[in-house]
């Protein structure tokens, strides 16, 4: 994801790191702030010292690291294809959300981020819905065809 921000000196490009590169950060308790000196509103020469909370009262924030969903690569060999997508239960059967890219020699490949479980899917090749010829398992679908099954373990 790329963002741009305007500053007084021109345009600054800001690029976000991919989700895989983001690592959780440990949060440490900060040192207690030093006491503040406050002046009485009605007597500016009178000073009152406000004490800071004890260091043990400052607790670190809990940070829970969540692992990214497993990444699965699907591949299809179809030299005549002009466009290849994958649609399935993991993307609400919306092929345009998951395009595959040409990988050379008639191969098309694409990575999926899917959670653990059993996922049904089909390739959409130039508008035609096709099962994965390399799938180890398939099930009958309500349209008289077969859906390929991808099982991702935890």
Q: What is the predicted pLDDT for the residue at 126? A: 98
Exposure of 69 by Cβ count < 10 A (0-12 exposed, 13-18 middle, 19+ buried)?
Answer: middle
Reported as a pLDDT band with limits 50, 70 and 90, residue 154 is: confident
Most confident of 30-34, 59-63, 139-143: 139-143
Supply the pTM of this predicted model. Answer: 0.56
Residue 151 pLDDT greater than 50, yes or no:
yes
Cβ partners under 8 Å of residue 92, min gap 6: none
pLDDT in tens, 65-80: 676 666 899 999 999 9
Q: Please, are residues 107 and 76 in contact by the beta-carbon 8 Å criterion? A: yes
Average model confidence (pLDDT) for the chain? 77
Q: How far apart are CA 2 and CA 23, in angstroms?
A: 20
Reported as a pLDDT band with limits 50, 70 and 90, residue 11 is: very low
pLDDT in tens, 119-138: 999 999 999 999 999 999 99
Domains parsed from the chain with CATH numbers: 71-152 (2.60.40.10)
Cβ partners under 8 Å of residue 17, min gap 6: none
């Amino acid at each position: 994801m790329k963002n741009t921000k305007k500053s007084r000196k021109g345009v600054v490009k800001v690029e976000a790191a991919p989700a895989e590169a983001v690592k959780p950060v440990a949060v440490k308790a900060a040192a207690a702030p030093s006491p503040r000196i406050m002046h009485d509103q009605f007597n500016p020469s009178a000073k009152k010292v406000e004490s800071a909370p004890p260091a043990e009262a400052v607790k670190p924030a809990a940070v829970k690291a969540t692992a990214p969903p497993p990444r699965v690569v699907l591949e299809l060999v179809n030299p005549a294809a002009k466009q290849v997508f994958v649609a399935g239960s993991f993307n609400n059967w919306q092929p345009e959300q998951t395009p595959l890219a040409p990988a050379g020699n008639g191969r098309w490949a694409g990575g999926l981020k899917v959670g653990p479980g059993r996922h049904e899917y089909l390739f959409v090749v130039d508008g035609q819905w096709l099962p994965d010829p390399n799938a180890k398992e398939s099930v009958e679908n309500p349209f008289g065809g077969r859906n390929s099954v991808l099982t991702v373990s935890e």
